[in-house]
Chains A and B, each alone.
Chain A
Amino acid sequence: MPKNTDKGALTEAVYYILLALFEPTHGYGIIKFARAITNNRVILGSGTLYGAINTLLKNEWISIEEIQNDSRKLYVITDKGKDIVDNEIARLKELAIHGEGVTGGDIYEENIL
Chain B
Amino acid sequence: MKKIFCKAMFSNFEKEESWLNEMAAKGYNYTDNFIFRYAFEEGKPGEYIYRIILLEKHHNHYESHKVIKFIEETGAECVYATMGWAYFRKKTADGPFEIYTDPSAKIAHYKRHLYLSIVLFSVNAFLTIINLNLGIIRKSPGNFIPAILTAIVAIILAYSIYLYAKRIKELKKEKILHG
Q: Which residues of A contact B (CB under 8 A)?
A: 1-2, 4, 9, 11, 13, 26-28, 31, 35, 43-51, 72
Contacts and interface: CB of A to CB of B under 8 A. Distances in A.
B110 to A, nearest CB: 12
A48 B102 contact: yes
Given A9-B179, A11-B179, A43-B96, A50 B102 contact: no
Interface in B23-51: none
B73 A1 contact: no
A97 to B, nearest CB: 21
The prevalent SS among residues of A at the interface is helix
A48 B102 CA distance: 7
Contact of B179 (A4, A47, A49, A50): A4
Nearest to B55: A47
Interface residues of B, number: 22
Interface in B67-103: 67, 70-71, 73-76, 95-96, 98-103
Given A31-B74, A50-B70, A45 B175 contact: no
B109 interface: yes
Nearest to A11: B179
B137 to A, nearest CB: 49
A11 B70 contact: no
A99 B70 CA distance: 39
A50 B71 contact: yes
Interface in B50-73: 53, 67, 70-71, 73
A48 B101 contact: yes
A26 B99 CA distance: 17
A51 B103 CA distance: 12
A51 B71 CA distance: 11
A47 B105 contact: yes
Interface string B10-29: 00000000000000000000
Contact of A47 (B67, B75, B103, B175): B67
